[in-house]
Structure 1
Amino acid sequence: MLNAEDIKTWLKKIGRDRAWLAEKTLVSKRTVDNWLSAGKPIVPQKMELIEKLMSGEEEIEFELPPDFEKQLRAMADEAKKTIEDMVSHILQVTAKAHQKRKAEAVHKQFTPVKTFTAPPLEAQGQIIGNIAAGNLADGDTIPQDIRLYRELEKGEYLLRVNGHSMEPSIPDGSVVIMKKYTIPPIPKPGTIVQYHDERGVTLKKLVCRKNPETGKMEYTLHPINPAFGDIEP
């Protein structure tokens, strides 16, 4: 069983430092320092990867996009995983794909993986239509199948956002998961809602403000983007 001293000896022998090992195992240098100096345990997935590196097996090369950390955090949030769990999941999926390619290319020249491999999508969903993020407007109802990282819960449905009034939180073209609202009759202020009347449909934040003329509290449909105005429901 490998230990920290074995890994430190190996790094010295091959002329590599801890920063290199951190890059190869997709963790921070601080994590590697914890493994090798503070005696923190190495998770099995990372230990397996280190063993492969030490045995001289072909390395899997990653060309990560500039905003990889942001994408990874969003993927982890959507999958309800920690970033470390998501990284481990990606490593497992990539390693399996790598081994499959090796098996299929016994008589071919090996080509290292050069692109980031996202984890597989796990659930099937359907976008049931579009919703305006601007003024009230008609939305289409052309369904579109989409793959998701989780199953939709009871009462949830998908809409694609058209418009810029909810940016930067919800960019134009985003797919939003909506949930049917029944009790109590009106959502609490601050909730992002799908509102519709005879004028059309729109995605807005529901707020409650005092009418300066009547002194009464009234509901308003408020955009996140300050370039757009409120809509009176």
Structure 2
Amino acid sequence: MTSAEDIKAWLKRVGKNREWLAEKTLVSKGTVNGWLSTGKPIPSAKLALIEKLMSGEEEIEFELPPDFEKQLRAMADEMHKNLEDMVSHILQVTARAHQKRKAEAPSQQFTPVEPLPAASFLDQPVPVIGNIAAGALTPGDNIPYQIKTDYQLGKGEYVLQVEGKSMEPVIPDGSLVVMRKHTIPPIPKVGTIVEYNDERGVTLKKLGRKKNPETGKMEYVLHPLNPDFGDIEPMDGGKISAVFVNILTNYEKMTS
């Protein structure tokens, strides 16, 4: 296993400092100092990323919105995770999405990932009941399919497949998300990621509020996490039918 001394020697050899390593691993410089100077254990997801950097493998680059840290903290609260766990979760999901895109490129050679052991899955198949747009409001695709997963659905929960990139990097295109039916109160707290329906279709977005420049009143808006997409506003004439719970990471699609 790579040690702190190995990492320090590598940084010196490649002419990089701890601040650079902190930026690449999405942590503070103080956290890196803790890993390298005080013997604080390096989380497995972060150590795997450091080892990829040390081996010279391609780095994953993505643009972050200006208020990403605020969004990240809100997301961590919503998913009942601490900030470190949330960052590790995003790194793992983003890495999987990155590898999937590389595998789908016709010019790329890749080694297929070994299938997950069937023993890790629950016996009861879980239906993916349709798609949800992560972009503009579009009609949902109601063609279901079955998966095996280790996630036990709770009361009122169901699984949808995300179509679109407006919620990246937190929820990549193609992700399977667990949603929970929502009825009371009619509007969940600001910052919650929601499933919104109106006559135009259905979409997955973060619930926000901002002042209408014409009326001066605060109005609800649907906010993407990807800065390349704009808000959907005003949010009227529809309803919030579910709230985001989690992203499925351990599953296998069942063949008919």
TM-score by length of 1: 0.53
- The offset of 1:53, in angstroms, is 0.5
Alignment correspondent of 2:170 = 118
SS in 2 for 1:76: helix
Letter in 1 for 2:170: A
CA distance in 2 between partners of 1:23 and 1:102 (Å):
24
- 8 Å contact from structure 2 (residues 5, 36) kept in 1: yes
Aligned-residue Cα RMSD (Å) equals 3.7
- 8 Å contact from structure 2 (residues 34, 40) kept in 1: yes
- 8 Å contact from structure 1 (residues 127, 146) kept in 2: no
Alignment correspondent of 2:98 = 98
Show structure 1 runs of 4+ deviating over 3 A.
124-131, 141-149, 159-164
Specify whether residues 106 and 49 from structure 1 end up closer, same or farther in structure 2 by C-alpha distance, changes over 3 A only. farther
TM-score by length of 2: 0.49
- The offset of 1:14, in angstroms, is 0.5
- 8 Å contact from structure 2 (residues 102, 108) kept in 1: no
Letter in 2 for 1:58: E
SS in 1 for 2:89: helix
SS in 2 for 1:41: coil
- The offset of 1:122, in angstroms, is 2.3
- 8 Å contact from structure 1 (residues 124, 145) kept in 2: no
Alignment correspondent of 1:7 = 7
Greater RCO (CA < 8 Å, at least 6 residues apart): 2
- 8 Å contact from structure 1 (residues 18, 32) kept in 2: yes
Alignment correspondent of 1:227 = none
Structure 2, unaligned stretches of length 5 or more? 110-166, 188-196, 213-217, 223-256
Specify whether residues 106 and 3 from structure 1 end up closer, same or farther in structure 2 by C-alpha distance, changes over 3 A only. farther
Q: How does 1:1-233 map to 2 (within 5 A)?
A: 1-107=1-107, 117-119=169-171, 121-125=177-181, 145=202, 147=204, 172-173=219-220
CA distance in 2 between partners of 1:10 and 1:51 (Å):
10
Residues 22-60 of structure 1 deviation map (CA, whole Å, 9 limit, x = unaligned): 000000000000000011000000000001010111000
